[in-house]
Structure 1
Amino acid sequence: MTSQDNMSEEHLPAAQEAHGGAVAVVGDSFADPGLPPHEHRRTDIDERAAARAERQVAFWFLLSMVATIGFIASYVLFKPGPQLSNVVYIFPIGHVSKLNFSLGMCLGVSLLGIGVGAVHWARTLMSDEEHIAERHPIEATPEVREQVFADFRQGAKESGFGRRKLIRTTMIGAMAMVPLSAVVLFRDLGPLPEKKLDSTDWAKGKLLVNMNTTEPIKASDITVGSLTFAMPEGVKESDEDFQEVIAKAAVMLVRMQPDDIKDKKSASWGYEGVLVYSKICTHVGCPISLYEQQTHHVLCPCHQSTFDLSDGGRVIFGPAGHPLPQLRVSVNGDGYLEALGDFSQPVGPGFWERS
């Protein structure tokens, strides 16, 4: 026996006396101490305390509902922008947008209310009893599965969800209103289109200008089998809204023999075989640029939608669902091509914005 063993034996009586019991040594076995005695919460034994906790939980859910309403109201009360009327000074952050600050605070309080309410509910009113679950194989037996469902039903019963109507009602109301914040966020994507998609920059008397040379186009300049891209006169690349205007007003001019035009209405909207169609594909809005002069077909390079320009821009292949809108044209006294109005229908891929 070593000196260390002797020292341990010498100190055993003192350790036993200090701890009031036997001291474990190597080789001893430990009995399972089990769980400590269950201590009931105040809300478990006092119904008034439980009712008070229920009101507190309901308060947090109601606060969430109010904050959601405030989130939505912020869009009406505050406007975005750097103007002094639209900002507020907050120490130590500095000047921030009233809109952004109110949106962030309201959304944060809304989510916080649901979270705090749920946690307070679980800690004060749901079942607080401890249960021992023995370890079991990964693959559950039918008995275990049945026990799981039974435990779930028991947990639902013990949570008081069905019995405590005030909590249930306010929690459902808070959770139902929170998604409204996400719906309102879509309003921040930009202004509503209103009637802007129903019309373009084309109007009666506007000349067709070559997109490459920016010069007005004469009907005599368009040869049979050619494809020319044009835009309305007065549109300049230096304009701030150039991309917005050209995205709807870009057109392509083709000329074919009058006998090759199948659709008589299209022929009447052209001039001596010169037809003008929107350059914007009616599938997803890609610019059309591929023309086959023998068949008079144009192909969208994005998804291969094919249109027959000799038949009113009809779709003959691909995912596009609508024909290309046609622009009615004529010539002025100098022989230049001019529009007689806007397109026959809204341009672009969408169906919902069509009148």
Structure 2
Amino acid sequence: MAGPEGGGVSRRTPSKSERAASRRIAAAFLVSAAGAVGFAVTYGLNGGTQWEGVCLAVAFAGLAVGLAVWSRRLVPVGGYVEEHEGFVPPPAEQAMTAAVFRAPESPTRRWGLLAALGFALTALGVAALFPLRSLLPWDRQRPTRSLKDTPWGPGVRLVDDQGRPLRPDDVPADTMVAVFPEGRIDVGDAPAFAVRLNPERFIRHPAGGHLGGLVVWSLLCTHAGCPVRLYLKGAGRVLCPCHQSSFDLLAGARPIAGPAARPLPGLPIEVGPDGFLRATGDFTAPPGAGFWSRP
């Protein structure tokens, strides 16, 4: 920085390396803003968490690169030691300080870079507001509502794992048969099982009712949502092989062993005019593991 002329401070032209660094910084901030915009668009279009993560990574990486290059290439660095000779700096040092904050190459005067940084930070801030949409009902189903509703409903036929509709005679006595809602075999919270028991042995009436001892319950354990696929013939009990929860079907499918705390939800059924088994409603309780409003 040249000495003062008539009390003023001379200015120097930024070097070639400084101009190149400024361009890299501006480009990095623009990339950061593009990543933030990409995150907002991807989130709004439900593009998937993988692409949302990629966009956020690009946004923060661009911001980090820009700030790193700025601090290493444009901000004066180094250690300086001087003797303390008083609280008022000499005129030469005052002129030097003024030059740092007023010269065109000063970081505080690089308005283009500051504008790019502000744009990147603003884009990131706006993008961070988009996930708040998930906390509002607006045009989508509430999370707790979707956890309580399943594809079962009045008139839905019961089918096996091959999609074949089932009649009451397709469920042998004291045998467990996996059943699904017709056309929705792949839905995770829909699997159920049908079993034919002796109604005279019921200690507690099944929550979903029964048809001459034919009862349907959710296949998902109420502990962690694992399938209760082990049936103890003659005992009227089902067992979850994952964590050893046991349910007594003769007592309303209540848990009698293991970590499960709630009975298996029942599914009300009837025989339709075509002779096939049909549901008359949804499960008597949300199937599977508990959640924040249902321990």
Sort the TM-score into its range (normalised by shorter chain).
0.5 to 0.7
CA deviation map 1:22-80 (0-9, x unaligned): xxxxxxxxxxxxxxxxxx9xxxxx9x99xxx9xx8x98997687456423333367786
Distance 1:79 1:282, change over 3 A: closer
Is 1:280 the counterpart of 2:220 in the alignment? yes
**What is the DSSP-based 3-state SS (H/G/I as helix, E as strand, rest coil) of the residue aligned with 1:301?**
coil
Q: Which amino acid in the other structure matches residue 195 of structure 2?
A: V
Partner of 1:202: 152
* Aligned positions, number: 232
Any gaps of 5 or more consecutive residues in structure 2?
A: 2-8, 13-17, 82-106, 109-113, 135-139
**Partners of 1:70 and 1:201 in 2: CA distance:** 36
Aligned partner of 1:251 among 192, 205, 224: 192
Distance 1:264 1:196, change over 3 A: same
Is 1:264 the counterpart of 2:202 in the alignment? no
For normalisation by structure 1, the TM-score amounts to 0.49
Aligned-residue offset at 1:327: 0.3
Aligned-residue offset at 1:323: 2.6
**Partners of 1:215 and 1:72 in 2: CA distance:** 45
Tell whether the 8 Å contact from 1:225 to 1:254 is kept in structure 2 after alignment: yes
**Partners of 1:259 and 1:124 in 2: CA distance:** 87
**Partners of 1:274 and 1:129 in 2: CA distance:** 85
Distance 1:205 1:124, change over 3 A: closer
Aligned partner of 2:243 among 299, 303, 314: 303
State the superposition RMSD in angstroms. Answer: 4.9
Partner of 1:294: 234
For normalisation by structure 2, the TM-score amounts to 0.57
Aligned partner of 1:128 among 64, 74, 78: 78
Tell whether the 8 Å contact from 1:282 to 1:348 is kept in structure 2 after alignment: yes
**Partners of 1:76 and 1:334 in 2: CA distance:** 46
Per chain length, whose mean CA-contact separation is higher, i.e. which structure has more relative contact order (CA < 8 Å, sep 6+)? 2
Aligned-residue offset at 1:299: 1.1
Partner of 2:257: 317
Matches of residues 36-51 of structure 1 in structure 2 within 5 Å?
A: none
**Partners of 2:283 and 2:53 in 1: CA distance:** 42
Aligned-residue offset at 1:250: 2.4
Aligned partner of 2:37 among 48, 53, 70: 70
Tell whether the 8 Å contact from 1:290 to 1:298 is kept in structure 2 after alignment: yes
Tell whether the 8 Å contact from 1:60 to 1:114 is kept in structure 2 after alignment: no
CA deviation map 1:145-181 (0-9, x unaligned): xxxxxxxxxxxxxxxxxxx99x9xx89x95xx58x77
**What is the DSSP-based 3-state SS (H/G/I as helix, E as strand, rest coil) of the residue aligned with 2:186?**
helix
Q: Which amino acid in the other structure matches residue 164 of structure 2?
A: T
Aligned-residue offset at 1:300: 1.7
Q: Which has the larger radius of gyration?
A: 1
Distance 1:242 1:330, change over 3 A: closer
Distance 1:290 1:106, change over 3 A: closer
Of all paired residues, the percent bearing the same amino acid is 29
